[in-house]
Amino acid sequence: MTSQTQAVVTDADDGSIDPAAQTQGLGKQAGDIVGFSPGQLMWRRFKRDRTGVLSAFVVIFFFAIAILAPVISKLYGKDPYTLYGQNNSDLLNEFGYPVAPNGGVSSSFWFGIEPGLGRDVFTQLLYGIRTSLFISVAVTLATVTTAILLGITSGYLGGRADYFIGRVSDLLLAFPSQLFFVAFMPIVVAIFVDPQDETPTYLRVTALIAVQWFLGWMGLSRILRGQVLSLREREFIEAAKVTGASSWRIVRRELLPNLVTPILVQATFMLPGFVTAEAGLSFLGVGIIEPTPDWGRMFAKGGDIAQNDITYMFFPGIAMVIFIVAFNLLGDSVRDAFDPKSGR
């Protein structure tokens, strides 16, 4: 395996002809020594990692069904809101449970029927994944942006700004995070809506993003601060300063490209955490509420009915296990591809 410091590899084991390799190795025989950028090296290492590629496909699959949920449900012919079980009395028995075995799984209801309301589980899960992934991606983007801003500021400027940001993140780290999410959900909602009115869904989503963002950025910000502290003393930054580059240019052109690795790796590890945290909040009844489909809310429903219809629980549950495992494996592979020395 090649290491990052050695930015030169032979092109022998890779059959494809790289355009960069072609220009570099103009007029020479195949198998010559060719230069690659760190990004190309990372991509070559990643392609060779079978687990990584497989988990990347699984993750892409989940995002694809989240984005395409309306199209899929249109082709499938059902939506997550219609109460099929109540409209058609053959589907649910007098206790509200599916008549057919295994939670009503059949060719027309692929994942069965939700007990009680009689909605379609398949579209519920599709749209639930859509809601959860949307929220988690938004939280990840918000936390990563904040962490980049504050981490680079405190590392590069140092002094008073560094001290202030450091103390604030110390303070936020002492907050009991799960309790904070639960406690501040209604507060954030109440800032915008009178408690006696109905809360619109987009506001609950905004509040969920806000509370998770608020306590989410400290870890990455500290990592970036440490990186910037060591990068700041390197010669190339000094050279840029001597040539009269502005601070903004140094941050943008010299520092940020060197921080892509920790940012990408941490973001891949953060996202599944946000998915499970959001699902936990909806499970407790303070996140997304009826009738909006949500991954976590399906667990709350599944818990209520597990005694009589255990099948329902397995669809959101196994989907989540696959998603989290794939994402964690992807995170490991991305880390190994960027930094092969870190090892497992």
Partner 1 sequence: MLRFLVRRTLGALVILLFISAFTYFLFFAIPHDPALLSCGKNCTPDNIALIHRNLGLDEPIPVQYFHYMVGIFAGRHFSVGDCSAPCFGYSFANSDPVWPTILNRFPLTLSLAAGGIVVFLLVGLGAGMLAAWRRGTFIDKFFSSVSLVLSSMQIYFVGPIVLALLVYNNQIMDQPKYVPISEDPVGWFSGLLIPWCVLSIIFTAGYTRMSRSTMIDQLQEEHVRTARAKGMSSRYVFFRYAWRGSLIPIVTMLGLDIGTLLGGAMITEFTFSLAGIGRLAVDSVLRTDLPMLMGVMLFSAALIVLFNIIVDAAYAFIDPRVRLS
In the complex, which residues of this chain contact partner 1 (CB under 8 A)? 170-171, 174-180, 182-187, 190-191, 194-196, 272, 276, 279-280, 283-286, 296, 299-300, 302-303, 306-307, 310, 313-314, 316-317, 320-321, 323-325, 328-329, 344
Nearest C-alpha neighbor of 41 from the set 73, 72, 92, 3: 3
138 vs 297: CA distance, rounded Å: 19
Please answer whether residues 171 and 180 qualify as being in contact, where contact means their C-beta atoms are separated by less than 8 angstroms: no
Q: How far is the CB of 5 from partner 1 (least distance, A)?
A: 20
Nearest C-alpha neighbor of 18 from the set 1, 35, 38, 42: 35
Task: Tell me whether residue 120 or residue 278 sits nearer to partner 1 (CB atom).
Answer: 278
Task: Tell me whether residue 37 or residue 51 sits nearer to partner 1 (CB atom).
Answer: 51
Nearest C-alpha neighbor of 204 from the set 69, 101, 321, 297: 297
Q: How far is the CB of 333 from partner 1 (least distance, A)?
A: 13
Vertex 68 angle, CA 199 and 132, to 5°: 40
Task: Tell me whether residue 60 or residue 306 sits nearer to partner 1 (CB atom).
Answer: 306
- At residue 10, φ and ψ (nearest 5 deg) are -85, 150
Q: How far is the CB of 243 from partner 1 (least distance, A)?
A: 41
Beta bridge partners of 230: none
Q: How far is the CB of 305 from partner 1 (least distance, A)?
A: 9
Task: Tell me whether residue 208 or residue 286 sits nearer to partner 1 (CB atom).
Answer: 286
Q: How far is the CB of 327 from partner 1 (least distance, A)?
A: 9
Task: Tell me whether residue 45 or residue 301 sits nearer to partner 1 (CB atom).
Answer: 301
